[in-house]
Structure 1
Amino acid sequence: MNLAAGGAEYLHALRHLRRASPHSVAAAERDLARFQAFAEGQGVNTVDQVDVHLVRRFVADCAWAGHKPTSIARYLSTVRSFYQWLIEGGAAERNPAQGVRAPKAQKRLPRTLSREQAGALAEAEPDDHSPIACRDRAIVELFYSSGLRLSELAAIDLHDLDPGGELRVTGKGDKTRIVPVGRLAREALRAWCRQRARLARPGEAALFVSSRGTRLSRRSIQQRLAQRAKRAGLGVRVHPHRLRHAFATHMLEGSGDLRAVQELLGHASLSSTQIYTQLDFDHLSRVYRDAHPRARRKPDSDDDRA
């Protein structure tokens, strides 16, 4: 069977038999056209001439052309689905795209906050000294002090907080860990606990409560952080995970102890924490470039060049 003819039949089946969405059909059509053009450029015109080596060359060609790994993965998925359909219809005996992998997508480094930005976020107080203001400051300080996940902070009960400066946290997989709470966070929490009784309903166990007296929701915490960042004039979007990243980055910069940061974050695997070594290296690289005489930019003046 001719590749182009087989592709046309496959698209017809997607459109009329499988009832795929117009968007999915259009994407499959573009992906198949790309693969068919490559195959024909290699002198391959029929379905049975395509083999795993051709598919791998196609992947390499796309990578060299600068296509994103996610896009290449989609091209492969389309070719794989096309050949699976051919096999089901008896028009092909094997799937040459089976087992071929797209290049791995590069992990995006998490966006974080500087120490100054984290401090400005904590200090961004409204004019009043209401219970809500005390609560919000305690939330920011605790996020940054202990590197908590949003779900972990929202689930904290009063009895989880130890007066001595430790906090019991229930993380992923219901695993419990003990994390330290910094001085400023402890002060903010004490201030909030003095105000909490004005809001909390009788018998409410949650540490952080809403104006209705019930446990503060995750969504509300996200919204309050965003509002606070706007008030502080940070110019960046602030969400709970960004504060968690700031905690981890600044801890690693200060200590260099990856294992300790892993324990504090509650990561089951060290590989999850190792992303911060890249952030730490970027910081060290900037310090090096700014400080080392052989790493500085070349001077621009004529006297310096002489």
Structure 2
Amino acid sequence: MSRNESGNEALPDSLTGALSDFLHYLSAERRHSPHTSQGYQRDLIRLMHWAMRQSPPVDQWEKLTVADVRRYAATLNRDGLSGRSIARALSAIRRFYDYLIREYRVRTNPALDVRAPKSGRRLPVAADADQLGHLLDARPEDPLEVRDLAIFELFYSSGLRLSEMTGLDLRHLDLAGGEVRVLGKGNRERVLPVGRKAAGALRQWLALRPALAGAGETALFVSQRGQRLSARSVQQRLSRWGQHRGADQHLHPHLLRHSFASHLLESSGDLRAVQELLGHADIATTQVYTHLDFQHLARVYDAAHPRAKRRKAMVSGQGHVDGDSL
């Protein structure tokens, strides 16, 4: 088969003709932008090149089957495309075949029930402990910054979610006992320790709160107007704190919660304790959340499991390990 100028195998008219008609339909009838049409074109040209490399080649659109589309999605996954990119490619195929069905060129849509693999959960990288300590040690300049520092210290001290933080009332805080009671997902209540730094920042805020809080307001953290502080305000104030103090990364509530979990896990290695503190019903959520890798799990296993210890002793005593012990 001849090659085109780009070095790729030339595509048959039986495939490219229908694509040209589809792109004209998108621009002339659907009024899609050139950028959108180019996206469809890229996705479908990639599919055509893949189809022509199959044995036998899929050289007509009506020959493409559901199994072919599933194998194509698997190929994109192996090539390193994200779940979102694969979903976009499958969407382009579905849209194209909807057009072909409308034009009576094919009878069925082979991509209709094919779904892309789920993308991995994207979580923030934990902040450096020393840099985070430097940011939290900065001196507040006014009563609102005293409040902000108390919020940020509590995020990092106790690993609260944003909704849990803004939902706190005065009655939930027990500084004498060093505890805070929060209501998490699924209305599950948990009691969390409050660290020394956070307790100190909270005491400073509580001394100033009466001058800001409206009459009868029960919220622990209030706005300048004396009402419960909103989640959006907390996000904005934390971002502002980081910008004014030269943070290397964007500061936001989830970063502090994630840093709390990661730093605690690094120091203790106690996954179950971190799970309880975070309020996760399933420990698998905690494993993903804290970015546990296999090497860390292997070190815990080697240090704790009696059979692992025994194997290490055998290795040091005999100088080798037979195949059955691996």
Same fold by TM (over 0.5)? yes
Matches within 5 A, 1:224-303: 224-279=237-292
**What is aligned with 1:30?**
42
Q: Which residue in the other structure is 1:214 paired with?
A: 227
Count the aligned residue pairs.
284
Tell me how far apart the structure 2 counterparts of residues 191 and 282 of structure 1 sit (CA, whole Å): 43
Match of 1:165 among 178, 183, 186: 178
Contact 1:118 1:144 in 2 (8 A): no
> Among the aligned pairs, what percent are the same residue?
51
The answer as to whether partners of 1:253 and 1:280 remain within 8 angstroms in 2 is: no
Which secondary structure does the structure 2 equivalent of 1:197 belong to? helix
What CA RMSD, in Å, does the superposition of the two structures yield over aligned residues? 3.0
List alignment gaps of at least 5 residues for structure 1.
286-306
Which residue does the alignment assign to 1:289?
none
Shift of 1:99: 4.2
| Distance in 2 between residues matched to 1:103 and 1:210, nearest whole Å | 43
Q: CA deviation at 1:65?
A: 4.8
1:155 aligned partner: 167
Query: Once the two structures are superposed, what CA deviation does each residue of 1:194-224 show, in whole Å capped at 9, x if it has no partner?
Result: 1111111211221111222222222222222
Seen in structure 2, the aligned counterparts of structure 1 residues 109 and 226 have a Cα distance that, compared at 3 Å, is: closer
1:7 to 5, 9, 19: 19
Note the 1:76-155 alignment, pairs <5 A.
Answer: 76-87=90-101, 90-126=104-140, 128=141, 130-155=142-167
Decide which moves more: 99-108 or 197-206. Answer: 99-108
The TM-score, its normalising length taken from structure 1, stands at: 0.79
SS of the aligned residue for 2:243 comes to helix
Alignment partners' CA distance in 2, 1:171 and 1:63: 36
Return the TM-score normalized by structure 2.
0.75
Q: CA deviation at 1:49?
A: 1.4
TM-superposed CA distance for 1:153, in Å, is 0.9
Amino acid at match of 2:209: R
The Cα offsets for residues 106-137 of structure 1, whole Å up to 9 and x where unpaired, read as 444531112212221221114x4x42232122
Tell me the distance in 1 between the aligned counterparts of 2:263 and 2:240: 24
2:261 touches 2:290 (CA, 8 Å); kept in 1? no
**1:96 Cα offset (Å):** 2.4
Whole-angstrom distance in 2 between the partners of 1:131 and 1:118: 21
1:56-85 Cα deviation digits (max 9, x unpaired): 443354445554443222112211232244
Q: Distance in 2 between the 1:224 and 1:274 partners?
A: 30
CA contact (8 A) 2:258 2:290 kept: no
Q: Give yes or no for contact 1:131–1:198 (8 Å, CA) kept in 2.
A: no
Q: Partner of 1:300 in structure 2? A: none
Give the AA of the match of 1:256.
Answer: G
CA distance in 2, matches of 1:103, 1:206: 43
Q: Which moves more between the two structures, 168-177 or 113-122?
A: 168-177
Q: Deviations over 1:153-176 (max 9, x none)?
A: 122111222342222222334443
**Superposed displacement of residue 247, structure 1:** 0.6
> What SS does the aligned partner of 2:110 have?
coil
Question: Which ranges in structure 2 are unaligned for 5 or more consecutive residues?
Answer: 1-12, 299-326
Instruction: Give me the whole-angstrom Cα distance separating, in 2, the residues matched to 1:119 and 1:77.
Output: 46
Q: Which residue of 2 aligns with 1:292?
A: none
Q: Report how far residue 31 of structure 1 moved.
A: 1.4
- 2:72 aligned residue: 58
